[in-house]
Amino acid sequence: MSVEELIAKTSKKCEIFSNPLRIFIAAFIAVKEEVTWTELKTSIEKYTGKVNPNTLSFHLGELTNIGYITKINIKGQPRYKIKKDKLPEIKRLAGEELLQAVKEKY
């Protein structure tokens, strides 16, 4: 299956990832381990086309609020990571097939 098909499938079965953009964000950060806002925005735009920065910020905020990701500042450049204790849950919810597809494509 393509990344797009896997994201659509996952979005239908998991409330927190009901928005396809949110599952892509979580999957991308999970496979990259740590990303900047710019890296994340660039990869999303390869997947969806132009993305409103406010939309990206909203979904990052939602994932932060539920405790899945954390924001760290390194020399003024914010970076995002999956919290270590949440990585197994994200892998389970997203599925290894989706994570592998994101890793290979992005």
pLDDT (mean) for 41-56: 92
Residue 33: pLDDT band by 50, 70, 90 thresholds?
Answer: very high
Distance in angstroms (rounded) separating the CA atoms of residues 31 and 49: 21
pLDDT at 10 over 90: no
In the predicted model, what is the mean pLDDT of the chain? Answer: 90
Residues 6+ apart with CB under 8 A from 49: none
Distance in angstroms (rounded) separating the CA atoms of residues 28 and 76: 22
- Tell me the CB-side half-sphere exposure of residue 77, using CA atoms within 13 A: 9
Quote the pLDDT of residue 3. Answer: 83
pLDDT at 15 over 90: no
Point out which residues pair with 82 in neighbouring strands.
69
Quote the pLDDT of residue 101. Answer: 93
pTM of the model: 0.86
Quote the pLDDT of residue 5. Answer: 86
- Domains of the chain with CATH codes: 3-105 (1.10.10.10)
Quote the pLDDT of residue 98. Answer: 92
